[in-house]
Chain A
Amino acid sequence: MVSADPTKAPPVLLQMRGIVKQFPGARALDGVDLEIRAGEVHCLLGQNGAGKSTLIKVLAGAHQPDEGEILVDGTAVTIPHPVAGLKLGIATMYQELDVVDGLSVAENIYLGHELAVGGFSQRRAATAHTRAILKRLGHGDISPHREVGQLSAAGKQIVSMARALSHDARVIVMDEPSAVLDSEEVANLFRVVHELTSSGVAIVYISHRLDEIRQIGDRITVLKDGRTVATNLAVAQTPTADLIRLMTGRDVEYAIPPRPPVPDDAPTLLHVDGLGLAGSFSDVSFDVRAGEVVGLAGLVGSGRTEILETIFGARKRTAGTVSVGGETLRPGSVSGAVKAGIGLSPEERKSQGLILDEPVYRNITLSTFTRTANASFLDEAAERRVAKEQIDALDVRPSDPARAARTLSGGNQQKVLLARWLVHGCRVLLLDEPTRGVDVGARSEIYALIANLAKGGAAVVVVSSEIAEVIGLSDRILVVSEGRVVHDGPATSIDEHRVLDLVMEGSAA
C-alpha cells in the first residue's frame, strides 16, 4: 500500500495545516495537521475530547476554522458550508447516521441533490444510479425502493456510504462506523472499504478499536487535546502500546503534590460490593477509606464512567450494594446518594454538570440551596457568601459570582463543580475526567485540590483517560477493562506500561 519511498507514494489529496478552532471557553483544536493520500485508509485516533469530532466538522464545512489552511490537490480552499465540502469531494458519515427513516434508499442517497428536470424528480434515473452504487458497494441485494427505517444499522451505513459515493467523493470520513455493527457486519464494512480504496478513494477512519485499525489502516494520525501529537505513522510499524501511550500518556509536566500515606486506622467511607449494571459491567468490589484516593484506569468504553454513575445512583444498579459510612444506598436514587454525602463531578461538564445560563453562585449552591433556605425561602445572600468563599478558595476566575457559568473556561467550570460538592460537605467524591479540557495551569490547581480533599478526610474516586494522571493522583489503582476489574493494587507498585498491558490483555480476552 503506502510505500516508504515518497516518490512512489500516491498523490496527496487533502492537507490540513495548523487548524485552530476556538469555542467559547474552550480551544477545541489547537494546531492540527492532517495529510490524506489517495487510496489510503487514514486512521484518526484520540481520546474523547481530543478534537476528532470538531476536526471532521471543519473538514465537512460544518465548522469554520479560526486559523490554518485546508488544501485540496495542493490548492488552498475554504469550505464555508457542507455543500461546498461535498463539491470538493469530501463526504462525511457521522456517527449518528444522518439518514431519513421515512424515505426510501434512493431518496436518501439523492437527498439534497435530487435528480430532477424542471422540478420533476427523475425517479427512474435515481433508481438506476442507486442500483449501480449499491452494487459497487457489494450490496446489490438492497432495493432502492426499500424504506430506510426498515434497514439494520449496517444497512443504513451502506446507504450513508452510497450517498457519499453519489457525490463522487474522493475522501470519505467515517466516524466510528463499527460502533453499531456486529463482527460479521464489520467484516463486510472492511471489504467495502478495501474496494473503495482500491479505486482511489481515501478513507479517514475514526475508531476507538485499535484492533480494527491494525486490520484496515494504512497510516495513523493521533490527536490529543486538540493537537496533532503524531502523524503519518505507518500502521504496520507502530506497536499498539505506542499508540495508546500517544493517546493517553503525556509527560507529567505539571506537579501532582505528594500526599502522606493513608493511616491504617482510617475508616472505610465507601463500600462497593459486587456492583453490576446489566450490559455494562459486573462484579465490581472495592472500598475507599477516608483520606484515600482510588483511581479507575481503563480505556474509553471500558465501563469506568458507568461504574461511577452507578455508585452515584444516576444509573440503577442491577447487582450488588453500595454503602457510605455503613449506610446502604437505595439503587437508582441520586438524591439519596447526595444526602448520604456522595458527590459526582460528571464526565460531560456542560451537559451533565452545569446550568450554563445561570450564574456561577447558583451553580455552586445547586445541591445546597435548600439547606441555606429558611422554610423554603431562599437566602441568596448566604448562597452568594458560601459561593464566594469557594470561588476565592479555589481561585475561580473570573471571580464574579453573578457571571453566567457559560462564560467560564473548562478549568474554571470544573472548579465550580468541585465547589458545589465542597459546599455540600461531601464525604465521598467521584470525579470523572476532572481535567478533561482543562489547561495545564488549572490542572495543577485541580490536582492540589484533590490532594487537599483527601487530606481533609474525604474518600475520592478518580476516573481519567490519562493513565499517568490516575497513577499520580491515586493511592490505589483499579484497572477496568471490558466491564471488569482486572487489577486492584497500590499505585506505587504499578506503572503506565503495566496498566496498558492489563488493559490490552483484558480487551483481548
Chain B
Amino acid sequence: MSEQTTPGAAVPGRSVTELAGDVPVHADRPAQAPRRGLLHGPAGRNLGLVIALLAICIFGVATAGERFASPENALTILRLASVTGVVSIGMTFVIIGAGIDLSVGSVIGLASVWASTLATQTMAQDLNWGVMVVTALAVGLCAGLVNGVLIAYGKVVAFIATLAMMVAARGLAEIIAQRKTQVVSVQGFLDFFRGDLIGIPTLVWIFVLVSVAGWILLNRTTFGRRTIAVGGNPEAARLAGIKVKRHTMYLYALSGLGAGIGGVMMLGRTTAGSSTNGLFLELDVIAAVVVGGTLLVGGRGTIVGTVLGVLIFTTLSNVFTQNNLSSSAQAVAKGVIIVVAVMLQQRIAGRTPAKT
C-alpha cells in the first residue's frame, strides 16, 4: 500500500503538499507537554544525572585527590561499570516495555559456568576461544526466551516468571559447576578479554559498543518504537496492529542476551566461572536503570540515563573504597541515592501517580 492512496488526501480545500515543508527543526526535542524549564523532559533529567556524577567526582577529588583523579582509577571505574552497564542496557528495554527481569544476575552465573566447563574449554582449545563466547550468549538468549515465552504467552507475571528463572538458573549453574570454581585456561579468551585497545580495556569497549547499539536500537529503529508503544499503552499498541506478545518475548530475549554478554565479561574479568558470579547483580542493574530515569510503569526511559545511572553507582563505590569506607556504608549510600533520585524524578515529571 502506498501513502499516495490515503483517503485522507481527499479532504477538499486544502493542499497537503504545500504544508509539508513545515517540519520543526528540533527533531529530537522531548515531547513533554508543558515544558517547565531546563530540568524537565528526558534531556533535562540526564543533565541532573550528569550534575550528580560530577558532584560525586568532585567529592572524590576532594577526599582522595590523586588516587581518585588518576587515569588508572578512571579505567578501573569503567572496567567495574562495564558488566553492570551491559546488562543494564538490556534491562532498560525490558523496563521501558513495562516489564522487569530479576533473573539477569543468575543468568550471568549460568552463562559464565556453562562457557567455562571442561567440555566447552576443551572445545575452545581445539577450535577457537569464540566457542566460549557463543556458548555464553546462547545460554543467555535461551534463558531470556524462556522468560519471554512464559510472560508473553504463558501469561505469568514478569516478576514471578523471572524470579523463578533467577532461582532455577542459579541452581542449574551450581549443578553444572558442582559448586567448584572453573578456572579459565583458554589463553586466547583471556588475552582478548583482559587486553586493551589503544589503552582502553576490552571490557570497556564492549560496554561502549553495547550502549551505542542500545541507543540506536531504542531511538532509531522500529524495535525501539515498538518497545515504547508496548510499554506506554499495550492496548493501543495492539489495536494499532503491533504484535504485543511477540515483542514482549523479544524484550526478555534481549535482556537474556545482555546477561549472556555480561557472563562472558565476568568470565574475562575474574578468569573463572563460578555459580556465584553475578550474585545480586540484578539489584544493581535495576537500581541503575531506575535512577537513570526509566519509569517502572513503562513507556519512558533513555539509554544515556541508564549509562549515567551505572556510572553514578560505580563511581560512588570507588570514592567510598578510596576513603576506606566499608561496603556496608556504600550500601546505605546506594539506598539513599535510589530513593532521592526517584523522588526527584517524580517532582520533575510533575505528575503525581497517585489516584484516588
Which 10 residue pairs spanning A and B have beta carbons closest together?
Answer: A422-B8, A338-B241, A456-B7, A359-B31, A456-B10, A355-B232, A407-B33, A404-B33, A366-B240, A392-B19
B7 touches A376 (CB 8 A): no
| Residue A380 lies at the interface, judged by CB distance under 8 Å to chain B | yes
A458 to chain B: closest residue by CB: B7
Give the chain B neighbours of A312 by CB distance below 8 A: 239
Tell me which of A386, A401, A453 contacts B7 (CB under 8 A): A453
Please determine whether B300 and A357 come into contact, CB atoms closer than 8 angstroms: yes
State A337–B19 Cα separation when bound (angstroms): 31
The A-contacting residues of B in range 23-55, CB under 8 angstroms, are: 23-24, 26-27, 29, 31-34
Q: A interface, by DSSP: helix, strand, loop or mixed?
A: helix
15 pairs, CB–CB < 8 Å, chain A vs chain B: A312-B239, A352-B235, A353-B236, A355-B232, A355-B237, A357-B300, A373-B222, A376-B221, A376-B223, A377-B220, A381-B23, A386-B3, A392-B14, A394-B11, A452-B7
A423 touches B8 (CB 8 A): yes
| A87 interface residue per 8 A CB criterion | no
Query: Which range contains the number of B residues in contact with the other chain?
Result: 35 or more
Extra inter-chain contacts (17) besides given A358-B299, A373-B222, A389-B20, CB under 8 Å: A63-B356, A335-B243, A352-B239, A357-B31, A357-B299, A357-B300, A367-B241, A376-B223, A384-B24, A393-B16, A402-B29, A420-B240, A425-B1, A452-B11, A453-B8, A453-B10, A455-B10
Segment from A339-347, A434-442, A484-492 that makes contact with B = A339-347
Distance between A408 CB and nearest chain B CB, rounded to angstroms: 9
Q: In the bound complex, how far is the Cα of B23 from the Cα of A386, in angstroms? A: 10
Query: Which residues in B have their C-beta under 8 angstroms from that of A370?
Result: 222
Name the residue in B19, B22, B236 with the highest tally of chain A Cβ atoms < 10 Å from its Cβ: B236
A401 CA to B12 CA, complexed, in Å: 22
Q: Tell me whether B163 is interfacial, beta carbon within 8 Å.
A: no
B6 adjacent to chain A (CB < 8 Å)? yes
Structural contact, A401 and B239, CB atoms closer than 8 A = no
A contacts with B, residue count (CB < 8 A): 66
Q: How far is the CB of A380 from chain B (nearest CB, A)?
A: 6
Knowing A344-B239, A388-B23, A449-B11, the reply to whether A351 touches B233 (Cβ < 8 A) is: yes
Residues of A within 8 A of B241 (CB): 334-335, 337-339, 367
Q: Does A37 contact B (CB under 8 A)?
A: no
CA of A354 to CA of B235, assembled, Å: 9
A214 at the interface (CB under 8 A from B): no
Kindly state whether residue A71 has any CB partner on chain B within 8 Å.
no
CB neighbours (8 Å) of A320 from chain B are none
Asked if B16 and A378 make an inter-chain contact with CB atoms under 8 angstroms apart, the answer reads: no
* Measured CA separation A384–B243 after assembly (Å): 23
Cα(A352)–Cα(B237), bound, Å? 8
Q: Which of B189-244 contact A (CB under 8 A)?
A: 220-225, 228-229, 232-233, 235-243
